Amino acid sequence: MAPEVDGDETVSEVMAQLAEAEAAEAEALADAARAKATAARLRGSPETPDTEDVADEVADEVADEPARRWWARLPWSKIGLAAVIVAICAVLTLTGLMIWQHRQVTAQRAHEAEFVTSASEGVVALLSIDYNHAKADVQKVIDHSTGSFRDDFSKGADDFVKTAEQSKAVTVGKISAAALESENGDTGVVLLAASSQVTNANGARQDPRAWRMSVTMTRDGGKLKMSNVEFVP
Amino acid sequence: MSDDKTSPATDVTDGDSAVEETVEEATETSASEIDVPEDAEFEVTPDLQTSEVNPKRRRRWLPALLAALLIASAGAAGGVYWWIYRPDQQTNAAAQQRATDAARDGTVALLSYAPDTLDKDLANAKSHLTGEFLKYYGDFTDKIVAPAAKQKGVKTEATVTRAAVSEMQPDRAVVLVFVNQVTTSKDRPDPALATSSVMVTMVKQDGRWLISEFNPV
């Protein structure tokens, strides 16, 4: 055989081949001995029992050698390396899945925060009307609305503007607390604790009024807008 | 081969030659594949050392590299689990629901009492509280609530109409609760309704969510 230095050859492989060769040799020896015994028996030789014993001894030796058992011939070092590689792949996959999941969670958090921010903006607009620019303020509320709430509010908008202008009052809304109660993709309910303070024409400030509100937000043209506004009694 | 009792003597010769062949093969195998590489590395083909991967060196660094990779990847997985995955699980929708439920129950316990069952009511309330707020509530109820409840027959019952999580961390949560409280007393037997919004700060202790702050807004 050519003296090749194969990069993939390992000592264990060579050892296994050697062991196989030795096993084959021993088996062959045993077979040969048995054959000899058979031949002798056929010839009627008195030596038969002895030769048979030799054959059996050789066969026993072959069976007893632990190195000849089938599992001893498996390339354990290769199996070990393969197992470690599989383990590394499994652990990396698991890590990847956890990171992927975290990205989902982060995206979900941002999605939830958008509901709270949009609802707060909408409610501040709703509670803040300045008689100096009442029409623009009311339009701002309409811009923050969609669906049935937008329809209802738009109907009364003109009267609302007139009342605000006549009152000569400035109302300022403020959000004290807001939290997302429920959410389902493009629609969600936000609870808000808000207050509004009215300053009338002669500059007198009234005590702030507290409001508990439940606002349903619905996505409309990429933006979350108020589709239902409830004052929780 | 052992069972062929009728086999003629020629088989024996075949068997012998087969043995010889096998032995030769075995000797050849061991000679060419074990002895040669050691010589070849340095004398027969010296360029192998630089151009090809040395099988001996490869044997040494491959298991070490794999072991290092296994340890590193396991460490990374453990870190990602502990600092990223676990906190995510502890703040998910189910965890928020548990914090919200605890805030509801605690708020109701805190604001509901009757003169007849005062001690039991206040003890129950205290079981939902922790930290500074527990101390404050203890003092406040001992000095003000208990005497008032007994002397004036103040009976109050709270319900939480709505609640939602405002902030969520693995062991801290802030819950916005809308509270309705109906109060009656000897002086004012007609039920008086008070509505309020409260930011309830919850902390997790030994797996239980307890109220650590209670701030009406």
Per-residue pLDDT reduced to its tens digit, A14-34: 666 766 767 777 677 777 777
Domain segments of chain B as ranges: 93-216
How high is the pLDDT of residue B5? 45
B62 part of contact set with chain A, CB < 8 Å: yes
pLDDT tens for each residue of A113-155 = 999 999 999 999 999 999 999 999 999 999 999 999 999 999 9
C-beta atoms of B162 and A98 within 8 A: no
Give burial (CB, 10 Å; 0-12/13-18/19+) of A184. exposed
Q: Do the Cβ atoms of A193 and B197 come closer than 8 Å?
A: yes
- A165: closest CA of chain B, how far (Å): 31
Q: What is the pLDDT of residues B135-160, one digit of tens each?
A: 999 999 999 999 999 999 999 999 99
Size of interface A-B (CB pairs under 8 A): 163
Residue recorded with tokens 């000679």? B31
pLDDT higher than 50, residue B13: no
Average pLDDT of chain B? 83
Nearest residue to A112 via CA among A178, A211, A194: A178
Name the nearest CA neighbour of B180 among B164, B162, B165: B162
Does B92 touch chain A if contact means CB atoms closer than 8 Å?
yes
ipTM beyond cut 0.90: no
Whether B13 has its CB under 8 Å from any CB of chain A: the answer is no
Rg (CA), chain A: 45
Instruction: Provide mean pLDDT across the span B110-129.
Output: 96
The pLDDT assigned to A203 comes to 82
Which DSSP letter does residue B129 get? B
Contact A157, A187 (CB under 8 A): no
Any idea which of A94-103, B31-40, B112-121 has the lowest mean pLDDT?
Answer: B31-40
pLDDT surpasses 80 at B61: yes
Could you tell me which chain B residue has the CA closest to the CA of A214? B162
Spatial distance between the Cα atoms of A165 and B215, rounded to a whole number of angstroms: 37
The percentage of residues in chain B with a pLDDT greater than 70, rounded to a whole number, is 73
Bridge partners of A228, per DSSP, are A216
**Closest A-chain CA to B194:** A233
CATH architecture of B93-216: Roll (3.10)
- Which residue in A has a C-alpha nearest to residue B76's C-alpha? A95
Predicted local confidence at residue A71, as pLDDT: 84
Q: What is the per-residue pLDDT for A56?
A: 54
| pTM reported for the whole predicted model | 0.70
Instruction: Report the residue of chain A nearest B54, measured CA to CA.
Output: A7
Q: What are phi and psi of A183, to 5 degrees?
A: -155, 140
Query: Rounded to a whole number, what is the distance in angstroms from the first to the last CA of chain B?
Result: 97
How many helices (H) and strands (E) would you count in chain B? Answer: 9, 4
Spell out where A88-139 has E strands. Answer: 129-130
User: What are the respective helix, strand and coil percentages of chain A, to the nearest 5?
Assistant: 60, 25, 15
CB of A36 within 8 Å of a chain B CB? The answer is yes
Nearest to B88, CA basis, from A211, A78, A89, A109: A109
B66 neighbourhood in chain A, CB within 8 Å: 81, 84-85, 88
pLDDT score for B25 = 46
pLDDT at position A151 is 96
Q: Which pairs with CB-CB distance under 8 Å and at least 24 residues apart come from B190-196?
A: B195/A212, B195/A232, B195/A233
Q: Does the pLDDT at position B38 exceed 80?
A: no
B34 — pLDDT class (breaks 50, 70, 90): very low
The DSSP-derived string for B42-107 is III-TTHHHHS--HHHHHHHHHHHHHHHHHHHHHHHHHHIIIIIHHHHHTSHHHHHHHHHHHHHHH
In tens digits, chain A (233 residues) has pLDDT values of: 444 445 455 666 666 676 676 777 767 777 777 777 676 667 665 544 455 555 555 555 555 555 568 888 888 888 999 999 999 999 999 999 999 999 999 999 999 999 999 999 999 999 999 999 999 999 999 999 999 999 999 999 999 999 999 989 999 999 999 999 999 999 999 999 999 999 988 888 889 999 999 999 999 999 999 999 999 98
